[in-house]
Amino acid sequence: MVIPQQLRVELGIHPGDEVEMWLDGDHVALRPVAEARPLRGRYRGEDLVGDLMAERRSEVERDAAREAAW
């Protein structure tokens, strides 16, 4: 995503900075993340692999159902 220079300057956003975005009515708002959290340990305790595998199984089942309908 390209953020116009004037906005980057006003918000103090530099290349590589994290920003957060949210839907605000009919437009998207953004602001710099005050303090970037390190990635290490961010998802500790989450079963990301299990979640991805379950999502993939669901996709395979959905695709198989579509093929069977043909």
pLDDT in tens, 17-59: 889 999 999 999 999 988 767 778 878 899 999 999 999 999 9
Number of domains in the chain: 1
Q: Who has greater pLDDT, 1 or 55?
A: 55
What is the model's pLDDT at position 33?
Answer: 87
In total, the chain counts a number of residues equal to 70
- Domain span including residue 41: 5-69
CA pair distance 59, 51, nearest whole angstrom: 12
12 CB-near residues (< 8 Å, 6+ apart) = 32
For the entire predicted model, the pTM comes to 0.43
What is the model's pLDDT at position 1?
Answer: 84
Q: Please answer whether residues 20 and 36 qualify as being in contact, where contact means their C-beta atoms are separated by less than 8 angstroms.
A: no
What phi, psi does 5 have (nearest 5°)? -55, -45
